[in-house]
Amino acid sequence: MLTEAQASVAKGLLLRGDKQQDIAAYFGCNSGRIAEISRKYKFADVAPASKRSLPTPQQLMPGGFIVEEVRAAITIIEMALASAKTRLLEMEEKLNGDK
């Protein structure tokens, strides 16, 4: 099942002329889901994403969406780890200063 945000991107890709099967592979879904969006059976009220926000044709590969999601998750994790490391160092400095 696609989200509204994914449907918006799918609509933008359809308007750009990308093949339904390629869009489906990008999202890791059945091409029937993209056909439903194309025929306005699903997400009829969702606006297409802007051209600027669409994945490039090179990014439009099987599992490409999943790769982008994992990359975004890794970035969030890296930021959380950096913050935790900074906090840990501050705590250690405070503990060592109190001795």
**pLDDT tens profile 14-69:** 999 999 999 998 888 999 999 999 999 999 999 999 999 999 887 777 666 777 77
What is the token pair recorded at 31?
């091409």
Q: Which residue has the tokens 């799918």?
A: 10
- Give pLDDT, residue 60: 78
Q: Is-above-0.75 flag for pTM?
A: no
| Secondary structure of the chain as H, E, C letters | CCCHHHHHHHHHHHHHCCCHHHHHHHHCCCHHHHHHHHCCCCCCCCCCCCHHHCCCCCCCCCCHHHHHHHHHHHHHHHHHHHHHHHHHHHHHHHHHHCC
